[in-house]
Chains A and B, each alone.
Chain A
Amino acid sequence: MIGRILIPASFATLLLGVWELAVRSFGVPVYILPPPSRIAITFFTRFPMLARHGATTLGEIALGLTLAASFGFLLAIALHHSRSLERGLRPFIVASQMLPVFAIAPLLVVWLGYGVWPKVVVTALIGFFPVVVSELDGLRATSRETVDLLLSMGATRRQLLTKLLLPASLPSLFSGLKLAATLSVVGATIGEWVGARRGLGYLMLESNARLHIDLVFASILMLTLIGLLLFGALRIIERWALRWRDSAGGSASARRGGG
């Protein structure tokens, strides 16, 4: 417990200390590499602005991730139920992953303008694949015996899906969602780099051009926090949805004597 917090914390302190010391003793100009203390000050003094741009980026991420999750989930179910659909679409799904999203981001700006949509679409495209693949894996994770059990009870296809396949796929779906969440931060940033008037990606580019490197770092810090926030929220939902999983031992072993 102590090790889990103390060791990373002291490591981070060490790293920041070396950084601070090196920048100061070698006299590196702040427009090349500002010291951590300067970044921290910038982060707090410019926090309202960072939060404003952060809210824009977070909105794009949330929208894109929701789209990726819903379409990915539904497509995985459709693919699982239709072999010919899977045969037909699988090459395209794999190919879509080879497609560098960077490359089509400018096109999206041409098609969808400078508003929020090109960023949302880039984010959704990046998050879509991990969701489809993990949900598809999850749907296949059931054993023949449990399928037999439900069929022998007279379950319909729909009951088989809702009572067995979907709940069994949840652990896998959540790993896909967490990966998608991580990638979605990248997606939204790329979307903003290509053309935006708001958002942390835009702020980064702007500050970079004006050599406000401390603000670039503060934006990166904000993006990281957003990523952590998303990941943490997903972890909490996952813990709740899969509460049957982290229950081996604990209070139960005390009650086991009743057997």
Chain B
Amino acid sequence: MPALRVSGLEKSFRTPHGTVAVLNSVTFDVEKGEWLTCLGPSGCGKTTSLRVLAGLLEPDAGSVWLDGAHGSRLGRTAYLPQEDTLLPWRTALQNAMLSAEIDGRPLAAARAEAMGLFERFRLLGFEDVYPSQLSGGMRQRVELARTFLSHRELLLLDEPLGALDPQTRASLQEWLLAVWNEFRRTVVLVTHDVEEAVLLSDRLLLLTARPATVRETVSLALLPRPRRRADPGVVAERTRLLSLLAPEVAP
């Protein structure tokens, strides 16, 4: 049984200028513990897909099974939205503990766990700092810590490293991989960065331009881990994907 089964998702939005079809028969599975990455042109419907997976948006047609069950998915996934969603009035630690509070878990235990993760996330010393005082890279790490601390099996990450400079981004990629190795969750990641996708994923989902449909699935199971940017296999896969995706990027 796959951790997540998505079948025939359709979604269109009604706007003042007419109806916009965004998802067109999107179908895929994700196995437990697998890292699946969605690559697709800007505006193709990646965020819309994740919002459907998180249970925030009802699809017009199609279904989603989480651990084989079909019911509401609100409260059952760890969703990291594309935009900055740290609450400015909460300190870094309080932000990271939000999910525990909402679950009604004992706060002392949640706090201890969060502190442990802060150490792992190199955020120690910044527990009581407000988000406005954190650098971009640190804010992203707090958001990731919050996502990992939510005790959900499925992580939905919408361009978590999207807004960072290349250097911070590269170091966070390696670091994210190390953390994932340690905490092993099922991941659906959305990104624009082909290299990032090749470095991190077990499998890639290539989406077409809007309305998004799965154009191709690429298994990276044969690329040995840990992967480095300069590994010949990584470079070759990246080059192949870039030329494959190039026509889709053009207007």
Tell me, yes or no, whether B102 is within 8 Å of chain A by CB.
yes
Cβ contacts under 8 Å, B91 to chain A: 244
Do B132 and A248 touch across chains, with their CB atoms under 8 A apart?
Answer: yes
In angstroms, Cα B99 to Cα A252, docked, is 26
Question: Using a CB-CB cutoff of 8 Å, which residues 110-130 of chain B contact chain A?
Answer: 122, 125-126, 129-130
Q: Give CA–CA (A109, B90) in the complex, Å.
A: 47
From known contacts A152-B54, A154-B76, A163-B102, infer whether A146 and B87 are also in contact, taking CB-CB under 8 Å: yes
CA distance A144 to B238 in the complex (A): 34
Contacts of A170 in B (CB 8 A): 89
Q: Closest A residue to B83 by CB, please name it.
A: A145
Residue of B nearest to A246 (CB): B132
Q: Does A45 contact B (CB under 8 A)?
A: no
* B98 in contact with A153 (CB, 8 Å): yes
How far in angstroms is the closest Cβ of chain A from B125?
6
| Given known contacts A247-B130, A252-B129, A163 and B101 CB-to-CB distance under 8 angstroms | yes
Q: In the complex, A72→B135 CA distance in Å?
A: 38
Per a CB cutoff under 8 Å, which of B78, B81, B137 touches A259? B137
Instruction: Annotate A138-159 by CB proximity to B: 1 below 8 A, 0 otherwise.
Output: 0000010110111111110001
Which A131-190 residues sit within 8 Å CB-CB of chain B? 143, 145-146, 148-155, 159, 163-164, 167-168, 170
* The one of B56, B103, B132 that contacts A247, using a Cβ cutoff of 8 Å: B132
* Interface check B43, CB cutoff 8 A: no
Q: Residues 200-234 of chain B: 1 if any A CB is under 8 Å from the residue's CB, otherwise 0?
A: 00000000000000000000000000000000000
Answer yes or no: B42 CB below 8 A from chain A CBs. no
A146-B85, A152-B56, A152-B79 as given contacts; A244 in contact with B132, CB under 8 Å: yes
A126 to B235 CA separation, bound complex (whole angstroms) = 69
**Most-contacted residue by chain A among B78, B125, B132, B137 (CB, 10 A):** B132
Residue contact A248 to B102, C-beta cutoff 8 Å: no
**Chain A, Cβ-Cβ closest to B82:** A145
Q: Hey, which chain A residues are within 8 Å of B76, CB to CB? A: 154
What residues of A have a CB within 8 angstroms of the CB of B77 in the complex? Answer: 152
Q: Across the interface, do A252 and B133 meet the contact criterion of CB distance under 8 Å?
A: yes
Verify B54–A248 contact, CB threshold 8 A. Answer: no
Report whether B83 and A143 are in contact in the complex, using a CB–CB cutoff of 8 Å: yes
Bound form: Cα–Cα A111–B220 in Å: 81
**What separation, in Å, do the CA atoms of A247 and B78 have in the docked complex?**
29
CA gap between A143 and B85 in the complex, in Å: 9
- B150 contacts chain A at the CB level, 8 A cutoff: yes
Q: Which chain A residue has the least Cβ–Cβ distance from B136?
A: A259
Residue in chain B with minimal CB distance to A149 = B85
For B139, give the chain A residue with the smallest CB separation.
A259
Q: A87: which B residues are within 8 A, CB to CB?
A: none
Is there an interface contact between B74 and A151, defined as CB atoms closer than 8 Å? Answer: yes
Please report the C-alpha to C-alpha distance between residue A153 and residue B103 in the assembled complex, in whole angstroms: 8
B2 at the interface (CB under 8 A from A): no
Distance of A244 Cα from B91 Cα, bound (Å):
8
| Chain A to chain B: the 5 pairs with minimum beta-carbon distance, closest first | A154-B75, A252-B133, A152-B79, A145-B81, A244-B130
